[in-house]
Structure 1
Amino acid sequence: MSPLNRQRMKLLALIMLFAVPLVSAWVMVEFRIGIPDERTAHGELNPDVPRLADWPLVEPRPAIDRGDWVLAFDCVGGCEADADQWWRLHRALGREAPRVTRLRLGPAESALPGEVLGEWQEPPGWRDGGQLWLLDPQGQAVLSYSAGVDPQDVLADVNHLLRMNSDPATAPSDT
Structure 2
Amino acid sequence: MNVPDTRGTTTRNKRILTIVAVAFLGSFALAGILRYSGWRPEGLKSKGELLQPAVDVHQIQPKLADGTPYPWNPIERKWRILVVPSANCAAQCTQLAGQLDTLWQILGKDAPRVDLLWWAAVPEGAPATSHPRALMADPALLGKLPRAMDATGPVTYILDPNGFVVLRYKPGTDPSDIRTDLSRLLKLR
Taking structure 1 as the reference length, the TM-score comes to 0.67
**Over the residues paired in the alignment, what is the CA RMSD in angstroms?**
3.7
Instruction: Identify the match of residue 46 of structure 2 among 41, 63, 67.
Output: 41
Q: Which residue of 1 aligns with 2:135?
A: 119
Instruction: Identify the match of residue 104 of structure 1 among 87, 104, 118.
Output: 118
Q: How many residues align?
A: 161
Q: Which residue of 2 aligns with 1:170?
A: none
The alpha-carbon deviation at position 70 of structure 1 amounts to 1.0
Query: 1:24 corresponds to which letter in structure 2?
Result: G
Rounded Cα–Cα distance in structure 1 between residues aligned with 2:169 and 2:24? 39
Contact preservation (8 Å) 1:47, 1:141:
no
The alpha-carbon deviation at position 149 of structure 1 amounts to 0.9
- In the superposition, relative to structure 1, how do residues 94 and 56 fare at CA in structure 2: closer, same or farther (>3 Å)? closer
The alpha-carbon deviation at position 36 of structure 1 amounts to 6.2
Give CA deviations for 1:95-126 in whole Å, capped at 9, x if unaligned.
33232221122223676223341234344234
Rounded Cα–Cα distance in structure 1 between residues aligned with 2:136 and 2:52? 19
Q: Which runs of 5+ in 2 are unaligned?
A: 1-11
Rounded Cα–Cα distance in structure 1 between residues aligned with 2:72 and 2:127? 14
Rounded Cα–Cα distance in structure 2 between residues aligned with 1:112 and 1:54? 27
Rounded Cα–Cα distance in structure 2 between residues aligned with 1:53 and 1:88? 31
- In the superposition, relative to structure 1, how do residues 52 and 86 fare at CA in structure 2: closer, same or farther (>3 Å)? farther
Give CA deviations for 1:19-59 in whole Å, capped at 9, x if unaligned.
676433312234x0487615611212154744255165453
Contact preservation (8 Å) 1:69, 1:135:
yes
The alpha-carbon deviation at position 138 of structure 1 amounts to 0.7
Q: Which residue of 1 aligns with 2:158?
A: 134
- In the superposition, relative to structure 1, how do residues 111 and 34 fare at CA in structure 2: closer, same or farther (>3 Å)? closer
The alpha-carbon deviation at position 86 of structure 1 amounts to 0.8
Structure whose residues are more often helix by fraction: 2
Contact preservation (8 Å) 1:64, 1:101:
no
Q: Which runs of 5+ in 1 are unaligned?
A: 1-8, 168-175
Computing the radius of gyration from Cα coordinates, the structure with the larger value is: 2
Give CA deviations for 1:55-108 in whole Å, capped at 9, x if unaligned.
654532346763111111123452221111111112222333232221122223
Q: Which residue of 2 aligns with 1:173?
A: none
Q: Which residue of 2 aligns with 1:26?
A: 28
Matches within 5 A, 1:1-175: 22-30=24-32, 32-33=33-34, 37-38=38-39, 40-44=45-49, 45=51, 47=53, 49-54=55-60, 57=63, 59-62=67-70, 66-76=76-86, 77-78=89-90, 79-108=93-122, 112-123=128-139, 124-125=142-143, 126=145, 127-129=148-150, 130-163=154-187, 165=188, 167=189
Contact preservation (8 Å) 1:46, 1:143:
no
